[in-house]
Structure 1
């Protein structure tokens, strides 16, 4: 490796041309330099390789055994370097059999996957998608080593490191749902009505404190949480059969309302909107396949963002 550090790799291209032409003047013309500059380059090559390389004879300049032995390896190396420096091939989703791995919350799965799966099935039938759950610790290493392509979720919850790329997908805001024939809550609840009711909480970690509870605590208030579940799947069915209130992002509530008889109502608290984002590592920024994946996700995000939140 010490020899490589001391060798000027730019000389290899000149060596290749000199061996093809075996003439300094013609080699200079091909390299677009002066004959004097090419003679100087040949001198440097001789010094670095400790060999005459080309020797003048009555029939012209002839290569030494050392230079002949280097011709094929140098040509192979230059061709490989040329291949490496070529722009990456365009990604063709119709023929690709690539597998993408995405970390996402079940919220993102619920909103994105139906449309995303339909799009993949129609436009990229050979592409496989693997969805993994997001972890409490942000997966920087999997993004860096390529075992994970993108992370999807609430930007404020994920808190990705600053060195990663983050793209806004859409916004959401907190709402609440009750069964359609709820005996007490027929319209937007007051704060008193909201606190008087029993509540259901979706908590993946099992925590009894959510963003609403943190806001209530600031006001010196609290609500009673009757039921905590770790997943979204059972939530709408439970709410439809009880008098509990479930507070959750509006866009998810709208999907629940399509499944069971629920009413979507505003939460009687001033809460910030949610920013839903996609995070990826800059190492994959220019990869054509990765660019295609991100564009599909962003297109779905734009469609979701265009759907108004009606509370």
Structure 2
């Protein structure tokens, strides 16, 4: 009875540098020249050849009148190992560069409501002009710390919104700032005289609260003065507010970009709030594990360039 024995080599014990040395020896047929080719000393190359002989159980190269001569085993290995090393080289080089113009990559982007309206149209235009093969997947989030959960889980590559709670694993980059304005419909009685605090408190207010709270930035500022406004309407969708204000006697305090991006700006009057309200910062956020990836870095820079950042 004849038994065929197939020896399977354990790849975990192979030093990739030995394969590089083998490839150089095949090309140069000289230990010294092969060492020069890959930046090794002659003793180091001799040691590599010795290890290769033990690993492959073959002399591999024997001395001849014109230098080292490969054995049949070495000739059998030469072409496949050379192709394998070239493929590894191409793979490593690919990870160090990213050509957006030829890429068919897919990026996942988490957006809160406002960036969906003000960032996404500009980003799509840029991609259409510079990287038409790239695909976007958009995920929406409401609470700012939802961004952390999405990034941690790998559900998105980037998020744009109010900066999440500080975390060492989540990196951020400022994009743009929004200031607050008050809006009323044109010809509203509130426009007949300057909007002072007393007049402001007399009006019926619309509050936008994505978290469905009945207490916003304006209410917090008023509370510090012992004051309270009349909330006639609370809704979670900020982009519904301009239409509702344009067709009612309500007043709303919104980010100016919401008004600019709406279709109802011409039907509205913009007024300066009678109280001090800090502007809102919107930032790009990503997980530290994606920080140095070339494609991810390009995508972040592409978005930041929309705002000169």
Which TM-score tier does this pair reach, normalised by the shorter chain? 0.7 to 0.9
| Partner residue, 1:297 | 303
* 1:132 is aligned to 2:139: yes
Equivalent residue, structure 2, for 1:249 = 255
| Alignment partner of 1:148 is 2:156 | yes
With over 3 angstroms needed to count, the CA separation of the structure-2 counterparts of 1:58 and 1:299, relative to structure 1, is closer
**Among 70, 74, 87, the residue aligned to 1:80:** 87
Cα gap change, 1:60 to 1:244, in 2 (>3 Å): closer
Note closer, same or farther for the CA distance 1:206–1:14 as it changes in structure 2 (3 Å cut).
same
1:263 to 269, 289, 292: 269
Going from structure 1 to structure 2, the CA distance change for 1:129 and 1:240 (only over 3 Å counts) comes to: same
SS in structure 2 of the partner of residue 234 of structure 1: helix
Aligned-pair Cα RMSD in Å = 3.4
Which of 162, 166, 169 is matched with 2:172 structurally? 166
The 2-side partners of 1:241 and 1:224 are apart by 19
Scaled by the length of structure 1, the TM-score of the pair is 0.79
**Could you list the per-position Cα deviations for residues 110-168 of structure 1 after superposition, in whole angstroms to 9, with x for gaps in the alignment?**
2223433344444444444333212434344654676523211122xx33533233111
Is contact 2:176-2:307 (8 Å) kept? yes
The residue that corresponds to 1:192 in the other structure is: 198
Residue 278 (1) aligns with residue 284 (2): yes
Distance 2:43 2:190 in 1: 96
Look up the match of 1:217. 223
Unaligned runs of 5+ in 1: 306-311
Cα distance in structure 1, aligned partners of 2:236 and 2:183? 18
Give the total of aligned pairs.
Answer: 300
- Aligned residue among 15, 18, 25 for 2:25: 18
Q: Indicate if the aligned counterparts of 1:116 and 1:297 stay in contact, CA closer than 8 A.
A: yes
- Whether the 8 Å contact between 1:91 and 1:292 is mirrored in structure 2 is no
Q: Flag the 1:125–1:188 CA change in 2: closer, same or farther, 3 A.
A: farther
TM-score scaled by structure 2?
A: 0.79
Per the alignment, do residues 43 and 119 of structure 1 end up closer, same or farther by CA in structure 2, a change over 3 Å counting? closer
